[in-house]
Chains A and B, each alone.
Chain A
Amino acid sequence: MAIHVPVLLIVILLGASYSVPLLDRYRKNLAFPLTIASLSAVFVFSLYLIFLVGRKGPFFYHLGGWPPPWGIELSVDFLAVYMLMVLSSIGLLVMIYGAKDLRHELKKEVLSWYYTLYLLLIGSMMGIALTNDLFNMFVFIEISAIASCGIISIKEDRRCLEASIKYLILSVLGSGCVLLAVAMIYMVTGNLNFVYIAAELPAALALYPFNILIALSLFIVGLGVKSALFPLHVWLPDAHSSAPSPSSAVLSGLVIKIYAFALIKLLFRVFPPQIYAAVPVLDIILFLSVLAVLVGSIFAMVQDDIKRMLAYSSIAQIGYVFMGIGLFGDRALSGGLLHIFNHAMMKSMLFMAAGLIIYATGIRRIKDLKGIGVRMPWTMGAFTVGALSMVGIPGTSGFISKWYLALGALDLGRPFYVAIILLSSLLNGIYYFPIVIDAFFGTKVEPRSEHRDVPALMLVPVLILAAGVVIFGFFPGPLLNLIEKAMTR
């Protein structure tokens, strides 16, 4: 039984996702508990996998008992379990938050469909994290693309529909690139399994360098579109800001990260390192990440919708992850990986906090948020923690990832990138702090009549994440441990 846990994660989620609407026909009130139960089970199993891998070391799981190169293989290593942990924990918390929020934002009939899509999304992301097979990865990428468009368009207002078609088209474009890249790789290696490809590629590189280079650049473009790397980010602000708040939280927190994670896996596990010496792929990624970090922040500054601002901030933050990839050093990549988790915590918390504000008051414009801290101290307190973490104040988890990224840059003798990180921190401060300040100080507010009470169930996940940001800011040890092991493999 224990050995089947990796596939169980995906099976539980996919199974639950299809049984939710069935169940919903007969027992209306069971759909949500089933969703939460399956997410919790997955969370527990992920923790168990961390424990298992920590004790026994990484292992492979062969789907249906077919060994590679024929069968699909799941690779349960430290990198994968790290990502599983990120996905399952944030996924669970966001869904708990969504319990009430969705009822407010969505029509009643589509509620159970939302759960289906959500579970599909989390399940497919887990698949991407676990799989060791290129084509399998492509399938999971497609599933998550449709599911993530689905959780935007399910709101069915005009903005969401437009945003999701934009997202869908660019996303499909990205998937097309990925599939073509898969074909290219298969063409020269005859394999789809990561391990086998990695063994074949150095020899193939001498014979067919162009195929491999085209494949590499297609992967970067394809996954770059999906993870909103700077010039390919155009779909993100609309999609993340118009979606229902739980969707925004999970899209900004997890979905864009999983593609960056897939890219990390490909670049570091599959492609041979000598390819990076020959062509400046990493330098291009680095250049784009610098642009992303700066331009994302600058765009965020001029937004007047709070969710739009958060969305632009995501573009900047994903730049950090790519900077970690582009610097291509141990510590830099650790920083990038760490930032995947840290940003997942921060951004999903910020989106949920914004969602809480919208839920309680209906206010979306940043200008109107004056004095909101007095009315909603807990929510804005969490928002403040998130803002501090975004700027990288020590004692928050954002600081740790920045520290590692900066160290990584210095390791390679590139203090310029440290300066970029610092500059972007300052920019973050410039657009996050005024919100916090205006929320708490400077205005006398009388409680408004249309103010709705915030249910505790919605507040709890936000506070858990806020606490997580602080705790992992002071005790990042376990995470670093995991990442360090993932790096050495």
Chain B
Amino acid sequence: MEIVLKLLNNYYYFVAMVLFVIGFHTMLTHSNLIKKIIGMNIMDTSIFLFFVAIGYVRGGRAPIIQEGAGYQYINPLPSALILTGIVVAVSVTAYALSLISKLYAHYGTVDADEIALIRAREER
């Protein structure tokens, strides 16, 4: 019972973990490269979620400090870091998609297994 309560209290960690596993699984098991990239994005987003959640303080406000107001602020550092993380994720996605489009031009498919098959046939 206690563990359920704990989970409920920290549901955002829980959700992040579930998303992470979904993303991870998608990346590893799907042979469609586009789906792999989607999985990658799910995974990255889950981590961002997780990271931002760490910095959240219940009832806290955006950290724009007003002297003497006595507000609680959330931790700004994770959010700042995640901005960088998002940039990185976007650029990786862009690069991956460009690679996939080139692959499509060469092989006529975006399925990793089919590409492997075609290559195996070529080498024989």
Report A's interface with B, CB cutoff 8 A. 135, 138-139, 142, 145-146, 149-150, 153, 156, 158-159, 161-162, 164-166, 168-169, 172-173, 176, 179-180, 183, 186-187, 192
Judge whether B119 is part of the interface by a CB distance below 8 angstroms.
yes
A103 to B92, alpha carbons, bound, how many Å?
Answer: 27
Given contacts A146-B95, A165-B112, A180-B20, 10 further A-B pairs with CB under 8 A are A139-B84, A149-B95, A153-B102, A159-B119, A169-B27, A173-B28, A179-B44, A179-B51, A180-B50, A183-B54
1/0 contact string of B87-109 vs chain A (CB within 8 Å)? 01001100110011011001100
Q: Which residues of the partner chain A approach B24 to less than 8 Å between Cβ atoms?
A: 173, 176
**Interface size classification for chain B:** 20 to 34
Give how many A-B residue pairs fall within 8 Å (CB-CB): 82
Closest to B81 in A: A135
> What are 23 A-B contacts with C-beta separation under 8 Å?
A139-B84, A139-B88, A142-B88, A146-B95, A150-B95, A153-B99, A153-B102, A158-B107, A161-B106, A162-B116, A165-B99, A165-B103, A166-B112, A172-B40, A173-B27, A176-B20, A176-B23, A179-B47, A180-B50, A183-B50, A183-B51, A186-B54, A186-B78
> Of residues A146, A153, A172, which shows the largest number of chain B Cβ atoms within 10 Å of its Cβ?
A172
B51 near A186: Cβ-Cβ < 8 Å: yes
Establish whether residues B84 and A176, one from each chain, have CB atoms under 8 Å apart when the complex forms: no
The reply to whether B47 and A168 form a contact with Cβ atoms under 8 Å apart is no
Chain B residues near A (Cβ < 8 Å) = 20, 23-24, 27-28, 33, 36, 40, 43-44, 47, 50-51, 54, 77-78, 81, 84-85, 88, 91-92, 95-96, 99-100, 102-103, 106-107, 112, 115-116, 119
Q: Is the CB of A162 within 8 A of B115?
A: yes
B107 — nearest CB in chain A belongs to which residue?
A158
The main secondary structure of chain B at its interface with chain A is helix
Residue on A nearest B55 in the bound complex, by CB: A186
- Closest residue of A by beta carbon distance from B103: A161
Residues of chain B with a CB closer than 8 A to A149's CB: 95, 99
Cβ-defined contact, A146 with B91, below 8 A:
yes
**Bound complex: CA A162 to CA B103 (Å):** 7
Alpha-carbon distance between A135 and B54 when the two chains are bound, in angstroms: 15
Cα of A478 to Cα of B50 in the assembled complex, Å: 46
A252 CB, min distance to chain B CBs, angstroms: 21
Q: A173 — which chain B residues lie within 8 A by C-beta?
A: 24, 27-28, 40, 43
Most buried by A among B88, B100, B107: B88
Residues of A near B92 (CB, < 8 A) are 142, 145-146, 168, 172
Q: Is the CB of A176 within 8 A of B51?
A: no
Q: Pick the residue among A159, A168, A179, A187 that contacts B95 (CB under 8 A).
A: A168
Q: Shortest Cβ distance from B124 into chain A, in angstroms? A: 13
Residues of A near B54 (CB, < 8 A) are 183, 186-187
Nearest CB of chain B from residue A301's CB, rounded to whole Å: 19
6 closest A-B pairs by beta carbon, nearest first, are A142-B88, A158-B106, A183-B51, A187-B54, A165-B99, A176-B43
Chain B residue with minimal CB distance to A150? Answer: B95
Measured CB to CB, the nearest residue on chain A to B95 is A146
A-side contacts of B81, CB under 8 Å:
135, 192
CA distance A387 to B50 in the complex (A): 48
A182, B27: Cα distance in complex, Å: 21
Minimum C-beta distance from A255 to chain B (A): 16
Which residue of B is nearest A141, CB measured?
Answer: B88
With known contacts A158-B106, A173-B27, A180-B47, A168–B99 Cβ distance under 8 A: yes
Instruction: Point out the residues of chain A lying under 8 angstroms from B40, CB to CB.
Output: 169, 172-173, 176
Q: Which residue of B lies closest to A164 (CB)?
A: B99
Asked whether, in the complex, the Cβ of B88 is within 8 Å of the Cβ of A161, the reply is no
Residue from B20, B23, B51 having most chain A Cβ neighbours under 10 A: B51
Q: Chain B nearest CB: distance from A212 CB in Å?
A: 15
Q: Is there contact, CB below 8 Å, between B99 and A161?
A: yes
Name which residue of chain B comes closest to A157, CB basis.
B106
When C-beta atoms are compared, the residue in chain B nearest to A169 turns out to be: B36
Contact for B33 among A156, A165, A180, CB less than 8 A? A165
- Nearest residue (CB) in A for B23 is A176
Interface-centre pick from A145, A149, A150, A176 (highest chain B CB count, 10 A): A176
User: Which A residues are CB-close (under 8 A) to B102?
Assistant: 153, 156, 161
CA distance A183 to B43 in the complex (A): 14
Q: Hey, which chain A residues are within 8 Å of B77, CB to CB?
A: 192
| B residues less than 8 Å from A165 (CB atoms) | 33, 96, 99-100, 103, 112
- Contact (A176, B44) CB under 8 Å given A162-B115, A186-B51, A187-B54: yes
Which residues of the partner chain B approach A139 to less than 8 Å between Cβ atoms?
Answer: 84, 88
Complex alpha-carbon distance, A146 and B119, angstroms? 24
Interchain CA distance A186-B78 in the complex, whole Å: 9
